[in-house]
Amino acid sequence: MDKRITIEEIAQNLAMGKAVKQPNGYLTRCPCHNDTKLSLRLKLTAQGDLRATCEAGCKNRDIRQKLSDKGLIAKGDDERVEIKTPCKKTYDSTLVGSYAVTSSELAGMEFVTSKYFVPPFLYAQSISMIYSPPGVGKSMVVHGFCSALTREKPEGLTIGPWEIINGCGVLLVDGELPMSDLKKRLSMISKGLGGEHCQNRLLILSSVEVQEKTGEPINLTKVRYREEITNHFLRHPEYRVLVLDNLTSLTDGMNENTKTAWAPINRWLLQLRNIGVAIILVHHANKSGTDRGHSSIRDNVNNIISLKRVKGAAVDDVHLKAVFEKGRDLEPGEGNDVKLKLIKDEHGGLRFVCPQV
């Protein structure tokens, strides 16, 4: 089958020509259950990724598997749909003539640039900030993502309410934990996800370790550390997620409250985003409960998730409410508050579940 296919062709194939066009996609037959009506909503996100939502609640992983079995989306790592886009006419060799598009050309374009790792917020070319007061458990959540994304079979694993739909290599840059603590936590989380695993897709760069070996901690205000990280992503395209845990410990000496101090780091994050990296910034809340530092930190971020301890939860319990404060590409309903709770299983593994289920 031709690798390039339109969303309409996928929808019509599933419903044998009876798919219904909607303002932003198609209603079609779900391939995962005995669908007597049109229960599956197919649409393309602004990032050009195919989103499939079954009203009967079929899992995204299973729907993608069926679409891939039918040859409607590519198999394996690259599960996005490649969409036919109309060619842009070139008028002349000037900048405007070569690159400007008319509004009707723009309307006809479909963008295929990024791919979801964890809907609705972690996708290629995005920056997400996760923040909370210290000690609430945000690093545990982030370690959950690091561990799940890098497993051999990540698809379908969940971190509380969030399902991994594509795995990839992750670079975790940690600003404050000793290696022994990182080892203990990641091993318990890995166990909770279905047994310890040994593979090389999770790279852990500990500032404490770097300081021990070189005499200097990792400091993102210094251009050479930023360049080293960029080079890693340029050389190793299988690494698609960068986790910076956390902003304060990795930018020692930066005056968080001025825009000029943040500007070079902001430019660097945008550069990483442009080469396809999904970035998770872990940040502390200040005393008033909002994220710390100059408001410009929020400007270029696609998603902001605030984690709060659920009222009445014990101090030693990781029981959180996640609130989307910003979400550039959220669908209606996707920005609702969700809860997640860390539980210990009989083998000593840790696992985030949805407490309401």
Minimum CB distance to Zn ion, residue 16 (Å): 16
Interface map 21-40 toward Zn ion (x if CB under 5 A): ---------x-xx-------
Peptide bond into 336 cis (omega under 30): no
Which residues have CB under 8 Å from 49's CB, separation 6+?
A: 80, 81, 114, 115, 116, 123
Tell me, what amino acid is at 336?
Answer: N
Task: Give the residue with the Cβ less far from Zn ion, 54 or 269.
Answer: 54
Minimum CB distance to Zn ion, residue 18 (Å): 16
Give the Cα separation of 308 and 169 in Å (integer): 28
Task: Give the residue with the Cβ less far from Zn ion, 37 or 347.
Answer: 37
DSSP 225-267: HHHHHHHHHHH-TTEEEEEEE-HHHHSTT--TT-HHHHHHHHH
Task: Give the residue with the Cβ less far from Zn ion, 68 or 85.
Answer: 68
User: How many chain residues bind Zn ion (CB under 5 A)?
Assistant: 6
Which residues have CB under 8 Å from 275's CB, separation 6+?
A: 230, 233, 234
Task: Give the residue with the Cβ less far from Zn ion, 30 or 130.
Answer: 30
Where in 116-145 is the site for Zn ion (CB under 5 A)? none
CA distances from 299 to 128, 182, 326 (A): 11, 31, 10
Place of tokens 């399902």: 163
Task: Give the residue with the Cβ less far from Zn ion, 34 or 104.
Answer: 34
Contact between 264 and 224 under an 8 Å Cβ cutoff? The reply is no
Contact between 10 and 110 under an 8 Å Cβ cutoff? The reply is no
Task: Give the residue with the Cβ less far from Zn ion, 54 or 338.
Answer: 54
Minimum CB distance to Zn ion, residue 29 (Å): 9
Cα 84–Cα 88–Cα 89 angle in degrees, nearest 5: 140
Give the Cα separation of 295 and 244 in Å (integer): 19
Where in 159-188 is the site for Zn ion (CB under 5 A)? none
Task: Give the residue with the Cβ less far from Zn ion, 54 or 193.
Answer: 54
Beta bridge pairs of residue 342: 352
Minimum CB distance to Zn ion, residue 331 (Å): 17
Minimum CB distance to Zn ion, residue 62 (Å): 8
Minimum CB distance to Zn ion, residue 36 (Å): 11
SS3 of residue 169 by DSSP: strand
Task: Give the residue with the Cβ less far from Zn ion, 34 or 90.
Answer: 34
Contact between 305 and 322 under an 8 Å Cβ cutoff? The reply is yes
Where in 52-81 is the site for Zn ion (CB under 5 A)? 54, 56, 58
Minimum CB distance to Zn ion, residue 54 (Å): 3
Minimum CB distance to Zn ion, residue 28 (Å): 11
Residues of the shown chain interacting with Zn ion in the complex, contacts defined by CB under 5 A? 30, 32-33, 54, 56, 58
